Chains A and B, each alone.
Chain A
Amino acid sequence: MTIEASTPSGERMTLNMGPHHPATHGVLRIVVESDGEVVATCTPDHGYLHRSIEKIGECVEWPMFVPYTDRVDYVCAMNANLAYCIAAEKLLQSDPANTFVVPRRGECIRVLVAELNRISSHLVAVGAMAMDVGAYTPFLHGIAQREGVNDIFEKLCGQRLTYNYVTIGGVAYDLYDTAIDEIRRFLDQFEREMVRFNKLVTTNTIFRDRCASVATVSAAEAIAWGLVGPNLRGSGVDFDLRRDEPYGIYGELGVQVPVGQAFAGRKGSVGDAYDRYVVRLLEILESIRLCRAVLELLPPAAAKANDPIGGWQADVGKQVKRPPKGEVHVRTEAPRGEMGYFLVSDGTKALFRVRCRTGSFTAAGIFHHVMRGIFLADVVAVIGSFDIVVPEIDR
């Protein structure tokens, strides 16, 4: 349906959705022009959560910026830490005098926490989308499962949301004694729980029909608009940095990449809201598998933190005080897609420039394109399906 066909009179109503609206997941403002229930134009207006994180990066020392990366995406803070730390390590290692390597155990723990955090982040994403479509219960069930991950992280680093756990050169603490058992137990019960979750909402006919063929993004469009992560894969593009440009130990794990394939069946199409949603659920299953695989690979802990095999933190204290000049760009696969850090160093303690590339920003960029002619009720479902986290847009 085109908006011109449905609004012959051309009378429009301007609706301010947000910045305080239950469905905008934070403080995103979307200016919707609609004719009754049909959306004509939709303009995301961001900046309400801008905290100058990139500018702060130019003022603080390298390791001191790690807690700020938590705030870039508080739903998957581990992945945000990881992206910055990998970039910083790569920049430090560009100086041949710096010969440190991240210990093997540290690398394993990084991937482990990143995948656990991917699970909890996707749980928020699918739960919030179900809530936007009107089913409140799955959201709380998702949150209840996320508590499991949060509990593990709390024991691991003392925090439940902004972890500041991954550090330049490794991770801040070794796994606690019972961590492996607890993670295994969590994964087992979580796998069973996901089956119930999916029976409750994913295969529900109302839910499927609500999301089928809504805001369809073709593969070419997805690439052209710079979509990343599950949003890109939902459109059927088989691309995942964990597999295609592996970092850490992802190369050894053989990551399987789910892509959208019109999961909604006859009524659906490749790249619709339902595909993006299902791709996230399939990624959760893949993350469960990866976590288990990492636990198999995990070397036993050594006595010293900087032991190259059983340690978890390389000695980088001196290097970050006198970093080399240069610039580096590193991209990693965060739950919301490619999270890239571009760092420029002028050889002083603080970075010269920090640039953070996030998935939600480009996802918000495609809103006005996909929301023409859809129903007002679908606007929230579309926001949910792109899994927007507002601080990622504003930073």
Chain B
Amino acid sequence: MNGFGYAVDALAAWLAGGEPGWIALTIAVLAVWVVPILLLVFPIAALGQILERKIAAAIQRRVGPSSAGLDGPLRFGFRVLLFFLPRARQDRIFAAFCNLRPVRSLLLVSRRLGLGQFVADGIKMLGKEDIVPTGADGIVFRLAPYLALAGAFLPFCVVPFGQHLVMLETEVAALFAIAVSGIVVVALKMAGWGSGSKWSLLGGMRAVAQLVSYEVPIGLAVGGVVLWCGTMDLHAIVGQQYEPGVFSLLGWNVVQSPFLATLAAVFFIAGLAECQRSPFDMAEAESELVSGFNTEYSGLRWGLFAMAEYTEMLLIGALLATLFFGGYQSPIGEEWIVGLPVWLEVPIHGAILGVKVVTVFLVMMWIRWTLPRFRVDQVMRLSWLVLVPMCLVSMFGLAVTLLAAGGTHAGEAFGRVASRPRPDLHWLGHLAAWAVPVAIGACLVVMAKKKHGQVHPALQRLTGGRS
């Protein structure tokens, strides 16, 4: 049990005034865990929206949001803080504050970055008319966005944000994350069906077909990591990737074996599909299905869907980091951070995980604004004929590596979580374990390029000689 667990227990005991019942425990969990996490993830997801708009603008050589600054929220804050003064006084103080040189330039920067856009968008969404179409199945239609959001948020329970910062430390964390995020499928289907529109229905069908198919490679990729680490506990998986010394990067799963690197790639691609991000955004394909499953949604409910999508992107980033990229651990010198006091260690680790998640987030955006969309049959083919076989081969390779490594040594638990011994290959073994699969993979890639990669000579004129 970690520090936050104690906090929950203590709060619950205080609330109940003795042995806590389930109501007191629920309130304590909400107070200690859910509200702070919501307060953390919501603004990040909202800021993600701005980030996406700015990045899209940069890729498309536009400016993007450039006039909504933080003036409005700031003024609101002054109003609240100075509620005891008359409005004119409040405004005078606010104007004086804004005229301070650093504040003025900061406000200008925030305007240029469009930082206030998400506040404006939020207010706009809240103010919109709440429309439930005539043909809609009211309850299903209304329930769907909340379920989608829940499905996207719940897996964060098991993601370790730091050495002492995991909400739900359970033996089956990895399974829990995958299983719970499956709720999103139901939510999308409900949205598609409940809207009573054919476009929504088609979008919902596509979403279900795609999400169910891509849960297989995701599950297999996680399975590979579980096979390697011997545990489903995400915190333990992170703990296993600990490496003392400056090059703590070398402890990460992704550099342990080429098969794990392959699984990481598969996880990322399948994760893109799970978030319905381009090139897998068939379910809300704007040019085909108007807006897919959320065609009929407006206002806050639509906002919840958008929030769920961004949260899911954050989730995929967090899981990718946790499973393959050392979780919250620093790539250069983890040893020193571990020794820090909790109040220092938690924000540092949280920030490191944040950087990793945002990196994945950025790559997803980059892909979204560059690539066209797959077609239904191509999406299915990619999942079942490419990703799933890749996963199976990788899992087999991992098993063989583990067997060949035979004489493993008992790894230290590094004072965190019990850790299963990792296979200790001699450096020759490491070399072979990397060289052979990489060579085979390179051969496959070259063959595939020869078979599929020919470019018609006329096209070379279009691309300036090269393709």
Contact = CB atoms under 8 A, between A and B. Distances in A.
Nearest to A203: B467
Contacts of A66: none
Nearest to A24: B287
Interface string A1-44: 00000000000010100000111000000000000110000000
Given A210-B372, A278-B462, A22 B290 contact: yes
A36 B286 CA distance: 18
B202 A37 contact: yes
A132 B287 contact: yes
Contacts of A61: none
A225 interface: no
Given A137-B59, A137-B60, A206 B454 contact: no
B288 A206 contact: no
Given A137-B60, A140-B62, A377 B462 contact: no
A202 B463 contact: yes
Interface in B366-391: 369-378
Interface stretch (A83-91, A258-266, A333-341): A258-266
The dominant DSSP class at the A interface is helix
A195 B464 contact: yes
A209 B372 CA distance: 10
A130 B287 CA distance: 10
A37 B287 contact: no
B330 interface: no
Interface stretch (B12-20, B275-283, B356-364): B275-283
A39 to B, nearest CB: 12
Given A37-B376, A375-B376, 15 more contacts: A23-B288, A37-B206, A130-B372, A131-B287, A134-B281, A135-B371, A140-B62, A194-B462, A203-B459, A206-B374, A206-B378, A258-B458, A263-B458, A265-B456, A380-B288
Interface of A: 13, 15, 21-23, 36-37, 130-137, 140-141, 144, 194-195, 198-207, 209-210, 258, 261-266, 278, 281-282, 285, 375-380
B59 to A, nearest CB: 6
Contact of B463 (A203, A207, A209): A203
B461 interface: yes
Contacts of B62: 140
A158 B387 CA distance: 56
A23 B287 contact: yes
B440 interface: no
B278 A134 contact: yes
13 contacts: A36-B202, A130-B372, A134-B372, A134-B373, A206-B374, A258-B458, A263-B459, A278-B458, A281-B462, A285-B462, A376-B288, A376-B289, A380-B288
Interface in B56-91: 56, 59-62
Contacts of A263: 456, 458-459
A209 B453 CA distance: 11
Interface in B281-327: 281-282, 285-290
A135 B372 contact: yes
B104 interface: no
B430 interface: no
A195 B463 contact: yes
Interface of B: 56, 59-62, 198-199, 202, 205-206, 278-279, 281-282, 285-290, 369-378, 451-452, 454-456, 458-459, 461-464, 467
A194 B454 CA distance: 21
B372 A207 contact: yes
B144 to A, nearest CB: 21
Contacts of B60: 136-137, 140-141
A285 B287 contact: no
Given A36-B205, A377-B376, A144 B61 contact: yes
A134 B279 contact: yes
A377 B288 contact: yes
A380 B463 CA distance: 26
B462 A195 contact: yes
Nearest to B461: A285
Contact of B375 (A15, A204, A261, A378): A378
A261 B463 contact: no
B343 to A, nearest CB: 45
A304 B369 CA distance: 52
Contacts of A209: 378
Contacts of B375: 210, 375, 377-378
Contacts of A194: 462
A319 to B, nearest CB: 45
A282 B458 contact: yes
Contacts of B198: 13, 15
Most buried by B among A201, A376, A379: A376
Given A144-B61, A265-B456, A136 B369 contact: yes
Most buried by A among B205, B459, B467: B459
A200 B459 contact: no
A204 B372 contact: yes
B31 to A, nearest CB: 43
Q: Which 9 A-B pairs have the closest CB atoms?
A: A134-B373, A135-B372, A195-B464, A140-B60, A198-B462, A23-B287, A134-B372, A133-B372, A263-B456
Nearest to A199: B463
B371 A377 contact: no
B454 A266 contact: yes
A228 B279 CA distance: 33
A376 B371 CA distance: 20
Contacts of A195: 462-464
Most buried by B among A132, A136, A144: A136
Nearest to B451: A266
Contacts of A132: 287-288
B290 A21 contact: yes
A72 B220 CA distance: 57
Contact of A202 (B202, B374, B459): B459
Most buried by A among B202, B287, B451, B461: B287
Contact of B285 (A134, A201, A265, A266): A134
A285 B60 CA distance: 23
Nearest to B205: A36
Contacts of B199: 15
A204 B464 CA distance: 15
Contacts of B452: 205, 266
A375 B374 CA distance: 12
A178 B198 CA distance: 55
